[in-house]
Homo-oligomer: A and B are copies of this chain.
């Protein structure tokens, strides 16, 4: 449908198990860009017996498609019982194609041109041979016919007019980070698998050969970050990916990057904690942790992308900032964004250039000192052996040459040098996005992956003439200079977060002395939806 010019947004809900359990995938199709799920379901395809009882109430004016065996005792006029399995067996002799039958049935219900689906099936199953393609197409057609032309004829009342395009992509948050990393010229990614971050590693791995990159699965997260630091020290752009539990093991390495001033990009896909928590669900519960992880004091940068496209852009920026300030940069995502599927025009990378912020050979000599004190705090960086130079880095406090130095005067100078980098970094930071009407009575404040549902909630409310807007942060740390004056100009503020304690509201207070009026917190492992936000606002009595 993406190729037909529609905007699709999807997300999945799965359990921390490989098979079985009640897993589901929700998709929304629209002729304008959408970045959130709707709580109102138009078409529910039930593939297990739990689906109907659990979700039928969400189907307001739509239909439920289900195999006869799954319908069971459920009686509801919305239910369209289709013998998926039987049809599959009919056309192919196997049960295997019942999912394809179901998709065909959905197309039938949508009165949508089946040719699109057929094209898709041909491409997808090409690898598996003509027979498989053919059986899939047959199955889709049979499902389509059953709904469109059989006893449900006339039920389809959607009017979806395709506008074919080639430039449109359907991409999730994790893939966008991976693609962003490739666009930024990442050449070394070491990681240990961890839901919901693994997709970034596999995305980079899929293209590593074309991009002269190495993806290495480490024995643990300690090795993962330290390998990346070693690769970066030696001269390439390097990153690691993980979730909260793995990040715990990376914190010492984070400090190592801090004191050795080695650029490194760390992708952290949040999931509900503490500890193993809810591995496959979503939460924004690690903000405080990433801001303060590792002993001692050193500059870091935290970026929390809002959407897949933002994830792409922020990843490119993360590498640039890491190189420019020679610091660790954290990309803070979560399962909601990781698995969220977005539709866009193909990202424009035509005039992408990268600057490694490295010394040119002609400025590197045998007297090179890695930690020269400068006003900006940034010491010109050479790589080991470059032009005969020796590069000495140390996790102990060190002098300009990089050697251990425990004198107090040196300590003060080096500590201040490193911390001075925050000034430049702050100049670099972007202001929060403002969505909705100006000077609204109510401002939602959000960060990271909540952008989609919050922006849509604001749109819906603005259409209903509620005076509300959204102030949404993607640059989390440090804050841009002008943030306070923006915030001070707001009326009622409601900080909306996917956690139980309001970590971002606390950050605003800690960093800016800004106190939000109210907090809206969700911590059941699920993301906000526009409807849930509106409901909560009503519950709070603010609208």
Contact = CB atoms under 8 A, between A and B. Distances in A.
A272 B251 contact: no
Chain A interface size, under 10 / 10 to 19 / 20 to 34 / 35 or more: 35 or more
B294 A396 contact: no
A30 to B, nearest CB: 26
A247 interface: yes
A275 B256 contact: yes
Given A396-B276, A406-B278, A412-B523, A295 B258 contact: no
- Which of A272, A279, A416 has the most chain B CB atoms closer than 10 A to its own CB? A272
Interface string A295-310: 1111000000000000
A395 interface: yes
Interface stretch (A87-95, A130-138, A156-164, A284-292): A284-292
A130 to B, nearest CB: 41
B278 A411 contact: yes
- Which of A260, A291, A295 has the most chain B CB atoms closer than 10 A to its own CB? A295
A408 interface: yes
A255 interface: yes
Interface stretch (A315-323, A377-385, A507-515): A507-515
Contacts of A517: none
Contact of A395 (B276, B396, B515): B276
B292 A272 contact: no
A397 B278 contact: yes
A406 B255 CA distance: 34
A259 interface: yes
Interface string A429-454: 00000000000000000000000000
Given A524-B408, A525-B406, A273 B244 contact: no
Interface in A47-86: none
A297 B273 CA distance: 7
B395 A275 contact: yes
A269 B459 CA distance: 52
Contacts of A394: 276
A506 interface: yes
B406 A297 contact: no
Contacts of A293: 248, 251, 289, 292-293
A259 B273 contact: yes
A524 B409 CA distance: 7
Interface string A508-543: 011001010000000111100000000000000000
Interface string A243-267: 1110111011001101110000000
A426 interface: no
A274 interface: yes
A411 B524 contact: yes
A279 to B, nearest CB: 7
Contacts of A252: 245, 248-249, 275
Nearest to A408: B524
A359 interface: no
A274 B289 contact: no
A419 interface: yes
A9 to B, nearest CB: 21
Interface string A479-519: 00000000000000000000111000011011001010000
A525 to B, nearest CB: 5
A285 B395 CA distance: 16
A193 to B, nearest CB: 16
Nearest to A283: B296
A69 to B, nearest CB: 25
A295 B16 contact: no
Given A247-B295, A396-B16, A419-B500, A259 B274 contact: yes
Contacts of A289: 251, 292-295
Interface in A112-167: none
B16 A272 contact: no
Nearest to A260: B275
A412 B15 CA distance: 17
Given A16-B406, A278-B411, A526-B408, A255 B260 contact: no
Contacts of A296: 244, 272-275, 277, 283, 285-286
The 3 closest A-B CB pairs, nearest first, are A273-B296, A244-B295, A510-B510
15 contacts: A248-B294, A249-B249, A251-B289, A252-B275, A259-B277, A260-B275, A274-B297, A274-B298, A275-B395, A277-B295, A278-B406, A409-B524, A412-B523, A415-B523, A506-B510
